[in-house]
Amino acid sequence: MDFRISADDRVGAPDGRRNKPQARPAAKGQRVEPSMGQSMAFSVDQERPGGGAGGGKPPKSPRKPPRKGKAEPARSRRKKRSGGLLMGLLWWGFVACLWGGLAVIGIIVYYGAQLPSADTWAVPERPPNIRILAADGSLISNRGQTGGEAVTFRELPHYVPAAFIASEDRRFMSHFGVDPIGLMSVAIEMIEARGVTRGASTLTQQVAKNLFLTPDQTLGRKVQEAILAIWLEQNYTKEEILELYMNRVYFGAGATGIEAAAQTYFGVSARNLSLGQAAMLVGILPAPSAYNPKTNPEKAKERQQIVLNLMAREGYITQEEANAAKIDPNQTVRTVVAGSESYVADWVESLMTAYIGEIESDVVVQTTIDYKMQKDAEFIVKEQVAAEGSKRGFTQGALVAMDVDGSVRAMVGGVDYQQSQYNRAVTAKRQPGSTFKPFVYLAAMEKGYTPETLAEDAQFDYNGWSPRNASGKYAGTVTLRQGLAYSLNTIAARLAIDVTPEKVIEVAMRMGISSNLTPVPSIALGTQEVNLLELTSAYAPFANGGNGVIPNVITKITDVEGNVLYEASNAGPGRVIDPNVLAEMNDMLKTAVEVGTGRGANLGGWDFGGKTGTSQHARDALFVGYTSAMVTGVWLGNDNDTKTTLSGGNVPATIWSEFMTKAHEGRSPAPIPGGSYAGQLVAQQLIDPNTGMPMIDPATGQAMVQYVNGGTGEPVQTTTDPATGQIIAIDPTTGAPIEGLAPIGAQTANPPIQTGTMVDPATGLPVSGGIDPATGQPIQQVDPATGLPIEQGQIVQYDANGQAIDPVTGFPLQQKTQANGFGQAPIDPETGLPMTLVVDPATGQQVWVPSAPTSQQQVVQPGQIVPPGQVQQQQPVYQEERSQRTLMDLIFGN
């Protein structure tokens, strides 16, 4: 039997072929039997290539999908699952990114909406800096909120900005304000460390934070910081952004900006920073209070090395340069310590508003300070306080030194500015003690008293007030010269009562005291408080010929472009002391330092005067003294006003002497003013009473002057002599020259000759040798105003009578002669007699006093020779022509 299996009978054969017989379903209970003897249209052969009846290819029929529940091969299942998972991940990742992006956009929009409108954004102005310079242009200090001026990117060495970039934001030059790469790396670090490791802010973001935002670490602030950083990048160049950062970042120790930091830590401008210094400054930034070299020099060195290595890694420097720039580990990092010049800087800063109003941009202030004098003063005060303070019970000192025109050259406001910024020279007010007495005596001289007026040094009672001398001893009848020299309280008190306290205050304020004073008799003893600056300036008229001064420290203020905002003028109060009275006061103040309480002061070769002062219980000790070149005041004491064992004549006088000796190095000695201007024509500058400024001649643009009679102070009419060009005083009625007033610019007919040569007063011709026939010694010519010999070799002039004239003062030169075996005796300019050396009954000290003529004596006339044997020692003579009664008589009417 031919039995074949049809393709339709195979498992999985396709259904629905047209030639397939349809089997009927069996009836219930019947057995189904396969069909037999029926030919198949499709055989196995037909599935072979080329098989089939007739050699034809059967038509293709669509493949039926597997029936439900039928298993598929495992390999197909794995492919389908992996493909589906990947697609699912991509899909859900996309969805997550989409929603995350929308959330980020929402957050940005939300926090960005809280910022002001973008068209109002602007970089705020940097707080202005005040750059304060000494007279020679050296930097004293910077003042202002930042502590330093702004510098431009291109002013700095190339490695300074490179250090910032390498350490703080190495992709700064390439990112758009926010650094995505940096953010991702920081995020990975934090995940690995399971905590915050470091910040991810770019330099631009830090600038945005510093300029516009608070330092709060919140999501909102970080979002706003990023927005503002992108805005900065769109509106400013990279150089400008880095410049903003370097000038506004805080470096610790009160220094904001690279210039302030360079000055604070190294005492140099940022323009002159070395590589090692720049790296150390940048290393401070992560923690300014912990990494700065003032507080932690070792940590600062470590940070410096890190920054240098980063610079080398980024290619800004070589590793060799980095190694060379590191500070030797054994070397101590030395930073600048704020010295006494900072007291000056604080004072200057306090004056700025009064001089130029509100400061809106950086300014440069030129001062009168001599930097060398300033450091000398600081060193001397510190040294003496350290040496004597513990022994005498004081801890603080102050010093003010100024030229005789009021220009302040040095100021020390305390021993250590780092410990105390309180300025004891300007801000502190203390009792001046006896340094105030010259103003009392000046009022008395103006009333008609003289240095030789007699006074009674004894206790007295005035309306319940009974002043006493500090020593508890009383000398009886003394001259006013002695009373001031030995600082006798009862004498000053009697004078103040007589001239009235109101007059004393008027004189003191005219001289330069500006503090409010109460008119009570005790003002004579310096019981009312003043500051050292005003007290020192009030002595300047004694030194400069009688002109009042206003203490000044600022000469010019300019902006950074050089435009002048303020310039000092030479205007001042004008003459405040009559020349004759000035001569008397300087005579007494010289005695005070020669034989009185100020004799502890000394200044080799210089003529000087001064006065000591000690308040009750020695809580304050002062010395104020002057030469023709400078005035200096010194104060010592304690901030808590406790008593000491000081006096004005010991440590204050020592400090004064040491400082003034250094300050006068290289200068030629010159006498302090004295004598009378009587017979002289004097030019005075005209001052506008409304403004206090010099009056300017509109025709010439020059300051206007008037001419006065030097003896009376009255204005006089002048003209110019066409023959000589001299200015002469004329009678306005007749036009004739006024007799007795020498013309200005007058020259003598006789040629100058050297001193040491005597002149015959009859002929005006030199007398050979100038030898005293009694002693065989050369006779020196002396200045009658000072009693000092004119130095050998100095040029002098002669008047029409052949009298030698001092070319500086215009006064006749007199002679010194031997007297009493004590060397050359000074000449009394009123009598022409040599003065006599006697013992002061109050102190037991030897002093010179005027001598009365006797039958053995003759009056010394200019040009005459008086042998020493003709001069006899006399007893003290207290009476003099101008005062026939004692001071007690004048006060109490006896």
Residues annotated as catalytic (active site), given as ranges: 168, 434
Residue pointed to by tokens 């309306």: 463
Whole-angstrom Cα distance, residue 645 to residue 666? 36
Beta-sheet strands, E only, within 413-519:
454-457, 476-479
Whole-angstrom Cα distance, residue 481 to residue 441? 9
- Determine the length of the chain: 894
DSSP state of 613: E
Residue pointed to by tokens 């009394």: 828
Residue pointed to by tokens 């030698």: 804
Distance from chain centroid for Cα 225: 37
Segment holding 732, helix H or strand E? none
Task: Please calculate the CA angle 317-320-325 and round it to the nearest 5 degrees.
Answer: 75
> Which of 531, 655, 562 lies closest to 602 in space, CA to CA?
655
Please state the φ and ψ torsions of residue 373, each to the nearest 5 degrees.
Answer: -60, -40
Beta-sheet strands, E only, within 404-553:
408-412, 454-457, 476-479, 547-548
Please state the φ and ψ torsions of residue 815, each to the nearest 5 degrees.
Answer: -110, 145
> Which of 156, 163, 152 lies closest to 316 in space, CA to CA?
163
Cβ neighbours of 29 (radius 10 Å): 5
Q: Give CA torsion, residues 137, 142, 144, 148, to 10 deg.
A: 110
Which residue intervals of 295-436 are DSSP H helices? 297-314, 319-325, 341-356, 371-392
Q: Are 253 and 292 in contact (CB under 8 A)?
A: yes
What residues are paired with 815 via a beta bridge? 781
Segment holding 753, helix H or strand E? strand 753-754
Mapped onto helix, strand or coil, the DSSP state of residue 149 is coil
Tokens of 58: 């059967």
CA-CA distances (angstroms) from residue 195 to 188, 287, 716? 10, 19, 92
Task: Please calculate the CA angle 845-848-852 and round it to the nearest 5 degrees.
Answer: 130
DSSP state of 269: -
Residue pointed to by tokens 């950083």: 229
CA atoms within 13 A on the CB side of 450: 12
Whole-angstrom Cα distance, residue 682 to residue 705? 10
Spatial CB neighbours of 257, under 8 Å, sequence gap ≥ 6? 146, 147, 148, 149, 150, 151, 246, 247, 248, 249, 251
Q: Which residues of 360-380 are buried (b: 16+ CB within 10 A; e: fewer)?
A: eebbbbbbbbbbbbbebbbbb
Whole-angstrom Cα distance, residue 426 to residue 533? 6
CA atoms within 13 A on the CB side of 491: 31
Tokens of 354: 């009064």
Q: Are 762 and 770 in contact (CB under 8 A)?
A: no
Q: Which residues of 808-835 are buried (b: 16+ CB within 10 A; e: fewer)?
A: ebbbbbbbbbbbbeeebbbbbbebbbbb
Tokens of 406: 């009021």
Whole-angstrom Cα distance, residue 708 to residue 718? 9
Whole-angstrom Cα distance, residue 13 to residue 35? 17
* C-alpha torsion sign, points 256, 261, 262, 263: positive
